[in-house]
Amino acid sequence: MNTFELHILAAERSFYEGPCESIIIPTTEGMYGIQANHLNMVTGIIPGEITYRIPGESDEHAACSRGMAIVENNVVTLLVDTCERPDEIDVNRAERAAAEAQEAILKKRSRQEYMKAQMELARATSRLKVSKIKK
């Protein structure tokens, strides 16, 4: 079985560290899959859903915020602000965050505020999507 070492590190905790068969991450270029012996690379992560497979288990899902992925010598490290399993997501809070972000987008104060609101909406939306995944 081909595996690699996966480290998902959020700002406040180590989310997962261990063997992995594959991972799909949301990047600025779209969803990106990584398997064992992938070429070395660095890429940006945007808010969205991560899907990864631990050997001998079914797919695991998580909602992540922005960050970066580093692939080097069969080790994949994700550095993200936050990462949450479906059962860790506060749905009410995510719904409020989505509504606030949509309101901020409509106000269109500055480009920077608009981009920040877009990122917050993407994060809230991905959290809501992942919260509906049942194990």
Q: Which fold has domain 4-84?
A: ATP Synthase; domain 1 (2.60.15)
Q: What's the confidence (pLDDT) of residue 73?
A: 95
Task: Look up the pTM and report it.
Answer: 0.82
Per-position pLDDT tens, the chain of length 135: 699 999 999 999 999 999 999 999 999 889 999 999 999 999 999 999 999 999 999 999 999 999 999 999 999 999 999 999 998 888 888 888 888 888 887 876 788 887 788 888 888 888 888 888 865
Q: What's the confidence (pLDDT) of residue 117?
A: 83
Domain locations in the chain as residue ranges: 4-84, 88-131
Q: Output b/e per residue, 119-132; b: 16+ Cβ within 10 A.
A: ebbbbbbbbbbbbe
What gap in Å lies between CA 33 and CA 39, rounded to an integer? 12
What letter does residue 87 receive in the DSSP assignment? G
Q: What's the confidence (pLDDT) of residue 135?
A: 54
Q: What's the confidence (pLDDT) of residue 19?
A: 97
